[in-house]
């Protein structure tokens, strides 16, 4: 008599319980390893950039795949060396002055805004929201020591080189983790993500370059100190839509206010004009073929990703949003609901 032997219903129930436990364990592990996952995602973005250059050299210079990949890696390393030279040597003094004066500049800007009742409430709300956030803790950790930042950047670069060396093996491994019946749909979704990320990165590169050059030139004309470092900061801030450029504007206004009313007004006019040019001309042109995400979703998604994953999550939040949006379009709308959603074309 086997009264304890589970019947079909019991077996199905036990299987579901074990599946739920497994899902909870995986989610908990991913939560604990959030920083590592963000770095891995950044490495994947770096590998996509490397392969974009490799494809360019393969098509335009008619190089074989391996030499084109090697030349692309050399190009990326040269670009990183050029940025290090810009920040460390060419604009090193300006960057150091900006970093040293940034806390006092923000304090002066907060004091100026607090002169009115509305401004005081805004300053209090911003300080309260920022004080307990994970981004604030990450920035505090970076201020106390830059070793972790350098190590994470080095890990990101090495990971990008490994991903770029043989991306096919990682794609095949990901497909082997899903049932064979849905592998074609997952493969198409992965391809869609790759194409959209490449188009998005290309648009971001154009936007960052134009933003940095225009802001730097406008601040130089306005007589704002450290205009070169502020231009670089403005260009890099374009990687985080809406939030990044707003944050990059604050030190420019603070430095302009220390010189006089003219540079402060010039800085305000510079950011206003450049933002109008970017929003109405450059951004629509470069993003005409990139996945279009509504601005409200972009802002709240970026804030949410930054709260969960911290500073690195905030930096890669726009790219993560592109991935999520593409997967929703490809897997849910096209595959599950049968909507007529075209795959992106490079």
Q: What is the pLDDT of residues 174-227, one digit of tens each?
A: 888 888 888 888 898 888 898 888 888 888 888 888 998 999 899 899 888 878
24 class by beta-carbon count within 10 Å (0-12 exposed, 13-18 middle, 19+ buried): exposed
Residue among 318, 319, 309 at smallest CA distance from 135: 309
CA dihedral in degrees (286, 291, 295, 300; nearest 10)? -130
**Domain spans in the chain, listed from the N-terminal domain onward:** 34-172+182-336
Tell me the average pLDDT across 2-27: 73
% of the chain beyond a pLDDT of 90:
3
Calculate mean pLDDT across residues 143-167. 78
Least confident of 38-52, 161-175, 219-233, 275-289: 275-289
Query: How confident is the model over 98-123, as pLDDT tens digits?
Result: 666 666 666 666 676 667 676 666 65
Give the pLDDT band of residue 165 (cuts 50, 70, 90).
Answer: confident
Q: State the pLDDT at residue 71.
A: 92
How far from chain centre, in Å, is Cα 86? 21
**Would the pLDDT of 309 be above 60?**
yes
CB distance 270 to 230 below 8 Å: no
CA distances (Å), 288 to each of 203, 273, 299, 318, in order?
9, 22, 20, 17
Burial of 326 (0-12, 13-18, 19+ CB in 10 A): buried
* Token pair listed for 69: 């990949």
Inform me whether the pLDDT recorded for 234 exceeds 80. Answer: yes
């Amino acid at each position: 008599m086997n009264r304890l032997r589970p019947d079909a219903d019991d077996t199905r129930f036990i299987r579901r319980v074990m599946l739920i436990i497994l899902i909870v364990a995986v989610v908990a592990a991913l939560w604990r390893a959030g920083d590592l996952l963000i770095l891995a995602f950044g490495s994947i973005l770096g590998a996509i950039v490397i392969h974009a250059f490799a494809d360019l050299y393969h098509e335009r210079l008619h190089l074989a795949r391996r030499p084109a990949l090697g030349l692309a890696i050399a190009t990326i390393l040269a670009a990183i060396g050029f940025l290090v030279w810009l920040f460390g040597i060419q604009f090193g003094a300006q960057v150091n002055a900006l970093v040293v004066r940034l806390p006092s500049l923000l304090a002066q800007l907060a004091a100026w805004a607090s002169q009115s009742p509305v401004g005081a409430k805004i300053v209090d709300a911003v300080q309260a929201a920022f004080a307990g956030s994970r981004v604030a803790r990450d920035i505090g950790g970076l201020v106390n020591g830059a070793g972790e930042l350098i190590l994470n950047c080095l890990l990101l670069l090495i990971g990008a080189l490994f991903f770029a060396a043989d991306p096919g093996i990682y794609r095949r491994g990901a497909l082997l983790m899903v049932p064979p019946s849905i592998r074609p749909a997952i493969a198409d979704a992965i391809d869609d993500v790759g194409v959209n990320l490449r188009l998005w990165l290309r648009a971001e590169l154009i936007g960052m370059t134009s933003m940095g050059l225009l802001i730097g030139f406008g601040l130089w004309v306005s007589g704002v100190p450290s205009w070169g470092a502020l231009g670089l900061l403005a260009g890099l801030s374009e990687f985080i839509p809406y939030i990044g450029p707003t944050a990059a504007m604050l030190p420019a206004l603070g430095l302009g206010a220390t010189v006089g009313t003219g540079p402060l007004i010039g800085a305000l006019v510079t950011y206003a004009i450049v933002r109008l040019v970017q929003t109405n001309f450059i951004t629509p042109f470069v993003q005409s073929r990139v996945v279009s995400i509504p601005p409200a979703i972009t802002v709240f998604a970026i804030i949410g990703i930054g709260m969960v994953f911290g500073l690195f999550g905030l930096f890669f939040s726009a790219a993560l949003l592109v991935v999520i949006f593409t997967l929703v379009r490809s897997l849910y709308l096209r595959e599950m609901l049968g909507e007529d959603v075209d795959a992106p074309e490079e």
